[in-house]
Structure formats: structure tokens, C-alpha cells
Amino acid sequence: MPLASVELKELTDKAENIYEAVVIMSKRARQINEELKIRLNQELEMFTQHVEGEEDEVNPEQMKISIEYEMMPKPTQQAIEEMLAGKLRYRYKEEEE
């Protein structure tokens, strides 16, 4: 997947400054990555049950699922696209007085 450049002005329009935009996108990328890991583990769970004594063989269905996940857009790219599309909402934690 080729890298695409992003205009900094576009990011600073979505947040107060570039640093804030980077923090927002990195947190979102982590969330996306965690969601993908959970989904992948759930799908692969069906194939990981093997009988003791059997040799580990490559299951074609398991391989198909793994390749499908590898071909998906990376979490960082998804977070950038969501930020530029205005789909991300964020807020600051309230400070205690």
C-alpha cells in the first residue's frame, strides 16, 4: 500500500494544532487496532482447536482469513481518513478543582 501525503493545514483545521491532531489520530488508530485484533482472534478461534499429538497443519480457511486481514487498510490510515472526514469526536478530560 503506497504512502499518501497529508497536508498539515488539513489536520490543523480539524484540531487546535498539529500535535493535538497527531494525538487524536494515534489514539483512534490504537482503538481500531484493538478492535481488529479482537475480531481476528474470534474468527481464528474456530481453527485453533487441535487434538494433542497431531501436527500443526496450515488450514486453508485460516490462511484465507489471515490474508484478508493483511489486505485491509492499516489502522493509522483509517484514523487519518476519519480525522480528515470529520468523523472523529474528541473531548478533554475534566480537571478536578
The tens digit of pLDDT for each residue in 38-66 reads 999 888 887 766 545 555 666 788 888 88
pTM for this entry: 0.78
Q: Indicate whether 22 belongs to any domain.
A: yes
In a domain, 89, yes or no: no
In a domain, 93, yes or no: no
pLDDT at 26: 96
What domain range includes position 19? 8-46+60-84
Q: At what angle do helices 60-71 and 18-45 cross, to 10 degrees?
A: 170
